Structure 1
Amino acid sequence: MKKESFTSFMKQVAADLQQSGNLGTAHVYRSSLNAILVFQESESVEFREITPEWLKHFEGSLRARGCSWNTVSTYLRTMRAVYNRAVDLHRAPYVPHLFRSVYTGTRADRRRALDMEDMKKVFARLLQSAAIPPDMRGAQELFILMFLLRGLPFVDLAYLRKSDLRGDVITYRRRKTGRPLSVTLTPEAMFLLQKYMNRDKRSPYLFPILRSAEGSPEAYREYQLALRHFNYQLELLGRFLGLKDRLSSYTAKHNQFSI
């Protein structure tokens, strides 16, 4: 009987996560697996091949490809979780300190918060001009709304439900932590919310970002596509405004913490 490889085991773990509804984690596992296969230039990596030396070379390869240290850490921590699970199931040998020599921490690779001068540019009303696409203007106003909602992450914005809004208060649970939060809307935030809120009476979502049922693979794909488009428009906006630092969906959160 053919022995199970590390990559086939990892593929099964990702499939199990997908099946159980952990779509974001499954996506991270598949991305990590793809990075491993690109490095190995093979369709399979055996458990016995995973050594401290192999891991160090993998880490160096990721950096050479331009991956940030946080991305490197994500891939290596995912590998470590998979390997430890295999050890617990007696499918891989226990190797002491296997991941000791590679980076599995977190660090700030770049400033995500803008300075006050750049934030003033972002909050300034864009001129009514054909040179400014509607998508860019919409991204600017959604970014401002996220900032006014105490740095609301885009994932929480996408999954907000109409039932989360009562009067001028939004009450919701963070997707990442499950922590319950309440935000009172300022008049400016209420104006933007009413401008961009979902007009489809059949949809449970507060904003027209998702169409599919919450927890479904389709909804997760819709979220990923929307996030990608939002960040692309913010990048264009940052260039248009001549910002010194990169503008992204994370900036609303980090500026909320820094101001």
Structure 2
Amino acid sequence: MASLKIKYRHSSIEGKAGTLFYQVIHNRVARQINSGYKIYPDEWDIFNSQIIIPAKTGENRHRYLVSLKKCIKEDTSRLKDIMIRFENLGYKYTADEIIEYYSAPPVNEYFVSFCENLIEQLRQIGKMRTTETYTTTLNSFKRFMHSQKRDRDIPFDNVDSNLMIEYEQYLKFQDICPNSTSYYMRNLRAMYNRAVEKELVIQRYPFKHVYTGIDKTIKRAVPAKIIRQIRDMDLSHDSSLEYARDLFMFSFYTRGMSFIDMAYLKKSNLQNGFLSYRRKKTNQQLLIKWEKPMQEIIDKYDTMGSSYLLPIILDAEADERKQYKSAAQLVNSKLKKLGEQIGLPIPLTSYVARHAWASIARSKNIPLATISEAMGHDSENTTRIYLASLDTSVVDKANSIILKTL
């Protein structure tokens, strides 16, 4: 295997600073890399090959030398990583190849840098949801790296099962639940697999010993009597609570429509007594018969001058996604308070409306295939064969039955 030395070259001009350089030796061939770092002879320990800080060093020079020590540590660590990588590749490499690789290292050969570049590419093509998901995951992984004093980037060869097991343990110590841990692992795996596809790394299955499944979560559905109680609450004293409740009920009335789909509903989506839209998550087209309670909510809010049906995205000139996310946070915060007021044993969120609709539909003996179609699921494989010919009037009838139970 190649070896590495740090050496000091004195200046040819007396009193001037000399230069540090790295010497890479492999198969008795020595090559040099000029670091570009300048220090004086009394600042170099020739026996231990390291920078020293003389006693009478000024404050600015002291900071410079401390910074230089950190840079040298990072440079030599990277060079050693390259040497290990070349050794693991199993072919006869040369010292010149190490120098060449170090001088112009492909950014994508390093895991965190690759992930950051991937996220930026996704952002540029408008994949905002994936961008946010990957960013959240990578930030968590970076915090783990920092906790392990691994602030520098890591080569793909160092992304192995041991590292992922360490990361999983870190998440457990942070009291992250198994489903959230799995969420981070699945996203990291997705980014890693992108690198495999680009042939930047050989597939070594670093996630094979960590949990990437999905546990059953606490039941989030509530019965019809709770939905009625939420609907009938007098919230005129607090407009923000009333706003959150109304959007919750609109979601329920529209067969558990997700908040993001509600946010982006346009007035043009409502025509001839039917609300037509595409799910953001699956791109599936859904058609909902317009019912009286839906209109009652729309009539409560002034959306004149807006192309949107609901008062969620208010400023067409501002960032729409930021407005949607801000509204979602507000609504879920207020719903949590509502849930506490009525003594719910589970946190009340906008997603509870979706669970509740499905649960109540099932309790009314509405077929699973009908429920799946109504909610726009694309992973109900056991019901898919029935969905192709399912008449939308069956779904509309199902929704009417549920609304009447209130």
TM-score by length of 2: 0.58
Partner of residue 89 from structure 1, selected from 188, 195, 198: 198
The CA distance in 1 between the partners of 2:322 and 2:176, in whole Å, is 23
| Residue of structure 2 aligned with 1:208, choices 300, 311, 322 | 311
Match of 2:241 in 1: 136
Q: Residues 127 and 15 of structure 1: is their aligned pair in 2 closer, same or farther, counting only changes over 3 Å?
A: closer
2:286 aligns with: 181
The offset of 1:48, in angstroms, is 2.3
Distance 1:21 1:194 in 2: 33
Closer/same/farther in 2, CA of residues 197 and 105 from structure 1, 3 Å limit: farther
Among 254, 257, 262, the residue aligned to 1:157: 262
Residue 118 of structure 1 contacts residue 244 of structure 1 at CA under 8 Å; is this kept in 2?
no
Per-residue CA distance 1:142-192 (angstroms, 9 max, x = gap): 111110111111000000011001143110111100111111122122111
Aligned to 1:235: 336
Which runs of 4 or more aligned residues in structure 1 lie more than 4 Å from their structure 2 counterparts after TM superposition?
Answer: 211-214
Residue 64 of structure 1: CA displacement? 2.6
State the SS of the aligned residue for 2:114.
Answer: helix
1:104 aligns to 2:212 (yes or no): yes
1:194-251 Cα deviation digits (max 9, x unpaired): 2236222xx321123124669x9x2222211111111111111111222121100110
Q: Give 5+ residue unaligned stretches, structure 1.
A: none
The aligned length equals 251
What letter is aligned with 1:114?
V
Percent of aligned positions that are identical: 31
- Separation (CA, whole Å) in 2 of partners of 1:119 and 1:191: 17
Q: Does 1:52 align with 2:161?
A: yes
- Greater C-alpha Rg: 2
User: Which structure is richer in relative contact order (CA contacts within 8 A, separation 6 or more)?
Assistant: 1
Partner residue, 1:118: 226
Q: Is the 8 A contact 1:59 1:102 kept in 2?
A: yes
Cα RMSD (Å): 2.0
AA of the residue aligned to 2:244 = A
Distance 1:51-1:169 versus aligned 2 partners, 3 A rule: same
> What CA deviation, in whole Å up to 9, does each residue of 1:117-142 have, x standing for no partner?
533332223254x4xx2101111121
- 2:253 and 2:294 in contact (8 A); partners too: yes
Cα separation, partners in 2 of 1:135 and 1:163, compared to 1, 3 Å: same
Q: Does 1:23 align with 2:132?
A: no
Task: Note if contact 1:68-1:109 (Cα within 8 Å) is conserved in structure 2.
Answer: no
Q: Partners of 1:195 and 1:10 in 2: how far apart?
A: 45
- 2:140 pairs with 35, 54, 57, which one? 35
| CA distance in structure 2 between the partners assigned to 1:63 and 1:85 by the alignment | 26
Match of 2:326 in 1: 225
Q: 241-250 vs 107-116, which deviates more?
A: 107-116
Mapped to 2, the partners of 1:38 and 1:127 lie a distance apart of 42
Identify which of 330, 352, 361 aligns with 1:251: 352
- Taking a change above 3 Å as real, the CA distance of residues 185 and 74 of structure 1, as seen in their structure-2 partners, is same
The aligned amino acid for 2:278 is R
Partner of 1:7: 112
The unaligned stretches of length 5 or more in structure 2 are 1-103, 361-406
Letter of the 2:117 counterpart: Q
Q: Give the alignment's TM-score, normalised by structure 1.
A: 0.89
Contact 2:264 2:308 in 1 (8 A): yes
In the alignment, the residues of structure 2 paired with residue 22 and residue 43 of structure 1 have an alpha-carbon distance, to the nearest angstrom, of: 28
Partners of 2:144 and 2:167 within 8 A in 1: yes
